[in-house]
A and B are shown apart, each in its own frame.
Chain A
Amino acid sequence: MSLYQILFYVFASVAVIAAIRVVTVRNPVHAALFLVLTFFSTALVWVLMEAEFLGIVLLLVYVGAVMVLFLFVVMMLDVNIAPLREGFIKNLPVGVFVALVMIVELALILGPASFGLDIYPPPEPAAAQTGNTLAIGQVLYTKFVYPFEIAAFILLVAIVAAIALAHRRRPGVHYQDIDAQVRVRATDRVRIARFDDDKTRRGDIAGDSNANQDEKKP
């Protein structure tokens, strides 16, 4: 067995074991962490198959952003673990049935009859120095530009929809206008009054009322 194969089996088995642990582990935070491990091992398998761009982007998007937000929510919710475990045995037959149906369907499509080595021989290893990133970019923005743009548009619509659902002005809630806070100057908040002697003090009080009137004018 070559080093390549050893690495593949190590990463693949870690991915599978971690994926199983995601659904069997008791603590939701641990489950999220096992999902991170699954993504990580999958990314390594992809890098092993010379798809370094996809592997690293998987890490960047799912491990770096999506799972962080997942963890954030799971930690915030302080999920009570016991109710989550209830009904595991009751729902187990349905789950096993769905899983079996999926496995059979996948086997029908991905079996050796349609994806065997004689039909799809393993691709030649890419020549050194040809970046996977460049190759993907060249087809993504030429041949597949419409599907790519449409996918991007659908995601944009999803973002707008999510924001539209959450974004509403509720009465009675105080918002901070940070722009106004940043723009504020010392002269807006404090007025330096100078008191020299009795005369000017009287004059200053008079000036004070004038100043108030000035403020009201505009």
Chain B
Amino acid sequence: MITEWLSPVIGWMSPAWQYLVVHVLLTLVIMMPIIVSVAYLTLAERKVIGYMHVRIGPNRVGPRGLFQPFADVFKLMFKEVITPTVANKFIFYLAPILILVAALVAWAVIPFDDGWVLADINAGLLYVLAIGAAGVYGVILAGWASNSKYALLGGMRSAAHKVAYELAMGFALVGVLMASGSLNLSEIVRGQEGSILHWYWLPLLPMFVVYFVSGVAETNRAPFDISEGESEIVAGFHVEYSGMAFALFMLAEYASMILISALAAVMFLGGWLSPFQGTFLEPVFAFVPGIVWFLVKISFLLFVFIWFRATFPRFRYDQIMRLGWKVFIPVTILWIAVEGVFHYFQVGPWF
């Protein structure tokens, strides 16, 4: 479709080049909104936490503080990037890039609406998991390459807790796979057709909770931010980073928050589907395009992320490990067995 639309401009190229140009453009179409959302998510976080703490939050730059993200970005861009003298330079600068790449490339398989997906591959779910696994390295390498005690401690903590929560996350996705019978994310959304009760959050409620909480842990967000732990280990893995290198870590953290929310929305909350499908309200909301529902769901989950941060104190390290290994993994394994029973008896509209 886009190829035809652009044909006056790129029609003279060979098909392979047209494919390349169109896909680079589509990538930009996905990337740019994400980068802007990241900027405004930082503002939203500060504002929401501010109001939860009965303060106002940033309100100086622009009307009601709306230009605050730009002020932050320009400040970080013009700050000096300092490399510690005995740091491993190559890995020191590789680490933030790795984290950012992992947070952005997974978007290739996210379906924004019916058919609105960059790469409609049939192993999308596995791809997302594998990319998430590769993202673990950024934090560990940043911690090691900085050649600083606090940074190394942060990297260590992160390595240990990410392996635990990655497993729980993987098992939660096995649950989704069992319900939908497909690894393709668009197919998973189509499997949830029907009203809000047909979405997988209902039969997979424990999986949904495990997935989302593991997602909070994977993105190093409070209350699981032990790898930053500013009250114990200063700023953990990114204590030695400044300026733009630090900004990349921030960018990656918020981009992966949006990614986890998008994945949870696709797998448990029906992606682009309207919650009123099949009810008397369906014609009333028929004018709303699918992507709006998808964005509403993402925004809600992002609000929950911020809500968590404002509400819970940081977990202790051993409590995090216990929750991951002794609570989440047994719960998911048990629920996979329960799902097997559901599947055998064809329970509800889901199986």
Contacts and interface: CB of A to CB of B under 8 A. Distances in A.
Interface in A34-55: 36, 40, 52-53
Contacts of A33: 91, 141
B155 A75 contact: yes
A63 B136 CA distance: 9
A72 B160 contact: yes
B19 to A, nearest CB: 11
Interface string A52-77: 11001101100111001101100110
B337 interface: no
B170 interface: yes
Given A56-B130, A131-B122, A68 B140 contact: yes
B97 to A, nearest CB: 14
B66 to A, nearest CB: 39
Given A60-B130, A178-B318, A178-B322, A129 B122 contact: yes
A29 B144 contact: yes
A65 B166 contact: yes
Contact of A64 (B121, B127, B136): B136
Contact of A72 (B16, B126, B129, B156): B156
A138 interface: no
Interface in B315-340: 318-319, 322
Contacts of B159: 68-69, 71-72
B123 interface: yes
B221 interface: no
A40 B98 CA distance: 14
A57 B125 CA distance: 11
Interface string B61-74: 00000000000000
B134 A64 contact: yes
Contacts of A72: 140, 156, 159-160
B133 A63 contact: yes
Contacts of A52: 121-123, 126
Chain A contact-residue range equals: 20 to 34
B238 interface: no
B137 interface: yes
B162 interface: yes
A212 interface: no
A108 to B, nearest CB: 36
A132 interface: yes
A157 to B, nearest CB: 18
A133 B122 CA distance: 9
Nearest to A57: B126
A216 B126 CA distance: 58
Contacts of B318: 176, 178
B122 A36 contact: no
Contacts of B260: none
B144 A56 contact: no
Contacts of A129: 122
Contacts of B140: 68, 71-72, 75
B82 to A, nearest CB: 22
A112 B348 CA distance: 56
B170 A60 contact: yes
Contacts of B160: 72
A76 B156 contact: yes
Interface string B112-127: 0000000001110011
Contacts of A71: 137, 140, 144, 159
Interface of B: 16, 91, 121-123, 126-127, 129-130, 132-134, 136-137, 140-141, 144, 152, 155-156, 159-160, 162-163, 166-167, 170, 183, 318-319, 322
12 contacts: A33-B141, A56-B129, A59-B134, A60-B126, A63-B130, A68-B163, A69-B159, A75-B156, A76-B156, A131-B183, A133-B126, A178-B318
Interface of A: 3, 29, 33, 36, 40, 52-53, 56-57, 59-60, 63-65, 68-69, 71-72, 75-76, 129, 131-133, 176, 178
Given A59-B133, A65-B163, 8 more contacts: A33-B91, A33-B141, A59-B134, A64-B136, A69-B159, A69-B163, A71-B144, A76-B156
- The 5 A-B residue pairs with the shortest CB-CB distance, nearest first, are A64-B133, A59-B130, A56-B126, A131-B122, A72-B159
